[in-house]
Amino acid sequence: MAKRYEMLSDSKIEPAATKGTIVYSCHGCDYGCANDDTRMTGVEHTSMTLNEDGSYPFFTHPRHMLKPLED
């Protein structure tokens, strides 16, 4: 199972990922998307998914707007 997080804000990319939604770290390659978003916004981003196993599809989200949850 992938690392779990609680969304602290609504995603601007994934309509189903709203504040309070549980999301998971993406285990696949994000093809540089989180890096691109970090460089373009100046805010560190990471790739997340709604799938508990960490599989695609993924979306990026600011890291500081994710609350890590204990397993």
- Cα distance between residue 13 and residue 61, in whole Å: 8
Q: pLDDT, tens digit, for every residue of 32-62? A: 999 999 999 999 999 999 999 999 999 999 9
Which residue type sits at 66? L
- Cα distance between residue 23 and residue 30, in whole Å: 16
- Cα distance between residue 3 and residue 57, in whole Å: 16
Domain boundaries, the chain: 4-68
- Cα distance between residue 23 and residue 71, in whole Å: 13
Average pLDDT value for residue range 11-36: 97
